[in-house]
Amino acid sequence: MRRLDLTEKDTSKRITIYFEGKPYEAYEGEKFPVAMLANGVYWLTTSTEGRKRGAFTFGPLPVKVDGVKNVNGRKLKIRDSMRIERQRYDEFQEQVKIDEGKPVLRYVVDVAVIGAGPAGLGVVEEIGGKLTAALIEERTWLGGDMWLKGVEQEGFGNPRKAIEKLTNFSENVRVFLKTAALGVFDKGEYFLVPAVRNDQLIEFMAKRVVLTTGAVDSIMLFENNDYPGVFRRADALEVMNVWNVAPGERVAVTGAFPEEITAELDRWGIEYVVVPNPKRVEGKDRVERLIDENGNVYEVDAVIMADGRIPDINPVTQAGGKLRFKRGYYTPILDEEHRIRDGIYAAGSAAGIKPHYANYIEGKLVGAYILREFGFEAEPCVYSERLREYEPLSRPRPRFPLDSFNAEDVHICGCDVSLKKVDDVVKSGITDLQIIKRLTHLAMGFCQGRFCLFNGALLVSQRSGLPMDRLDIPVARPPIKNVKMKVVAGRE
């Protein structure tokens, strides 16, 4: 077994890959970063400013494969004898390109459901058999965030078994995996949802749209938070529970919600320490120690940000929804039937952070509202009653120790934007996030602000004293996923 493998792998699938000229044991079908992690190699790419970067924190992962530059290492499925080398970000663009030569695929449905986590699965379960639906999911799996979990989930029990049950779709539900929805546009009586699968443009025409687009991991700010060996919560879950590889041998867990990760580490018997107030990560080319704000030093080889999630606001603002700041994060303003505006609904983590089961129930609730709109009998009150048991989660508001940080080493955005760069602009008196974006490139890169804009807003609020709900959060422009825009715009 490789150093960080948690289980024996199928030896008939064993292959050798070469990274920076050195051979490593790998397994067919593995993703490149996972194979390297299992071998204890964390530093995989280098930022424009020369910072060492791994695959599990944030930022792009360009690598050179068999001499070809600008390959997206994050998605790279390895083959025997593949030769992979580090590359600087340089001109790398993590962008999907639509093949303009291919005819557009078109589908007309009653309801387009964007996102196949527990909430999206709840919607199609409720409306399936009665209305036609397209379930659009950008990832390769169904079940969203819950699919990454190994421990039992309240209301559901075993997460994988629960997802299996929910994915016995009725005939009039059509599922589109690896398909990213690019936005929602008005088209007369219908909504147009353009989407892309590989290089194929697909257009969905739907009478109703549900945004069950979920939440994104909260990125914590501390010195060298972009360093190889720092893990985002979802990536740590994925390496353990999907690939059966440990994030490290001795792990530090930090953030406001450590239990979500420690329960999984306990399940695998991985040694860990909980560090509530991280100040700085250090090491040669990967995490070797974590130092907290009181000067305590923890010898660890990985740090997991267990700081929970915040709703992904981009699909909501692009579709014309408005936001409010409540319980420590931005959520869409919904009418009494969970609509962000006429015909467009939101449910699940996209609408507020709750346990998976509550998100599923909320999906069913929205499904019931839609059924009623189409003239079917439905009982939304049964679900709204059950949902009342689940008050959405409140997040503690972080206060960044701005004056004791070495802000050049703190990364607010994976695309090489340091906290110092943004803080200098804010300190000069600029509080408009739109202008801050232009001046610093915060939220202008591959994640389109999903991970970094919230910290930008917290920073502005902390420095200026402006309350979060008074800040002007930039509206997401289409396409909401990184796709060459020309084609989609041409069809507008």
Burial 157-184 (b: 16+ CB within 10 A, else e): eebeebbeebbebeeebebbeebbbbbb
CA R_g for the chain: 22
Could you tell me which residues are beta bridge partners of residue 271? 250
Q: Give the span between the Cα atoms of 384 and 186, in whole angstroms.
A: 29
CB of residue 185 vs ligand ATP: minimum separation in angstroms?
A: 14
CB of residue 113 vs ligand ATP: minimum separation in angstroms?
A: 9
Per CB under 6 A, 352 contacts ligand ATP: no
Q: Give the span between the Cα atoms of 70 and 88, in whole angstroms.
A: 9
CB 63 within 8 A of CB 45: yes
Could you tell me which residues are beta bridge partners of residue 187? 190
Per CB under 6 A, 262 contacts ligand ATP: no
Interface pattern 88-127 for ligand ATP (x via CB under 6 A): --------------------------xxxxxxx-------
Per CB under 6 A, 139 contacts ligand ATP: yes
Which stretch in 44-52, 139-147, 334-342, 392-400 sits in contact with ligand ATP by CB under 6 A? 139-147
CB of residue 47 vs ligand ATP: minimum separation in angstroms?
A: 25
Which stretch in 22-30, 44-52, 125-133, 136-144 sits in contact with ligand ATP by CB under 6 A? 136-144
What tokens appear for 90 in the block? 């340089």
Per CB under 6 A, 137 contacts ligand ATP: yes
Maximum Cα–Cα distance across the chain = 65
Q: Give the span between the Cα atoms of 251 and 287, in whole angstroms.
A: 10
Burial 193-204 (b: 16+ CB within 10 A, else e): bbbbbeeebbbb
Phi, psi of 455 (to 5 degrees): -65, -35
Could you tell me which residues are beta bridge partners of residue 180? 196
Q: Give the span between the Cα atoms of 68 and 80, in whole angstroms.
A: 16
Residues 195-214 that bind ligand ATP (CB under 6 A): 212-214
Q: Which of 215, 378, 393, 447 binds ligand ATP (CB under 6 A)?
A: 215
Per CB under 6 A, 479 contacts ligand ATP: no
Q: Which of 65, 180, 346, 393 binds ligand ATP (CB under 6 A)?
A: 180
CB of residue 208 vs ligand ATP: minimum separation in angstroms?
A: 16
137/307 with CB nearer ligand ATP: 137
Per CB under 6 A, 349 contacts ligand ATP: yes
CB of residue 480 vs ligand ATP: minimum separation in angstroms?
A: 6
CB of residue 192 vs ligand ATP: minimum separation in angstroms?
A: 14
What tokens appear for 442 in the block? 């915060």
CB of residue 114 vs ligand ATP: minimum separation in angstroms?
A: 5
234/444 with CB nearer ligand ATP: 234
CB of residue 448 vs ligand ATP: minimum separation in angstroms?
A: 11
Phi, psi of 309 (to 5 degrees): -130, 160
Per CB under 6 A, 134 contacts ligand ATP: no
What tokens appear for 274 in the block? 């909980």
3-state secondary structure of 291: strand
202/458 with CB nearer ligand ATP: 202
212/461 with CB nearer ligand ATP: 212
113/131 with CB nearer ligand ATP: 113
3-state secondary structure of 216: strand
260/301 with CB nearer ligand ATP: 260
Residues 356-375 that bind ligand ATP (CB under 6 A): 356, 359
197/250 with CB nearer ligand ATP: 197
Residues 142-161 that bind ligand ATP (CB under 6 A): 144-146
Please name the residue that has the structure tokens 């909430």: 119
251/316 with CB nearer ligand ATP: 316
Interface pattern 281-320 for ligand ATP (x via CB under 6 A): ----------------------------------x-----
Burial 413-436 (b: 16+ CB within 10 A, else e): bbbbbbbbbbbebbeeebbebeeb
Q: Give the span between the Cα atoms of 57 and 482, in whole angstroms.
A: 19
Per CB under 6 A, 417 contacts ligand ATP: no
Phi, psi of 46 (to 5 degrees): -135, 135
Number of CB atoms found within 10 A of residue 189's CB = 8
CB of residue 231 vs ligand ATP: minimum separation in angstroms?
A: 18
Phi, psi of 474 (to 5 degrees): -60, 135
137/423 with CB nearer ligand ATP: 137
CA distances from 218 to 29, 254, 261, 434 (A): 29, 12, 14, 21
Interface with ligand ATP: number of residues (CB under 6 A): 28
CB of residue 408 vs ligand ATP: minimum separation in angstroms?
A: 33
CB of residue 314 vs ligand ATP: minimum separation in angstroms?
A: 8
268 residue type, one letter: W
Q: Give the span between the Cα atoms of 418 and 411, in whole angstroms.
A: 4
Q: Which of 130, 339, 450, 481 binds ligand ATP (CB under 6 A)?
A: 481
Which sign does the torsion angle of CA 42, 43, 45, 50 carry? positive
CA distances from 324 to 81, 253, 280, 337, 471 (A): 52, 30, 33, 17, 10
Q: Which of 468, 480, 483, 488 binds ligand ATP (CB under 6 A)?
A: 480
> Which residues contribute to the site for ligand ATP (CB under 6 A)?
114-120, 136-139, 144-146, 180-181, 212-215, 315, 348-350, 356, 359, 480-481
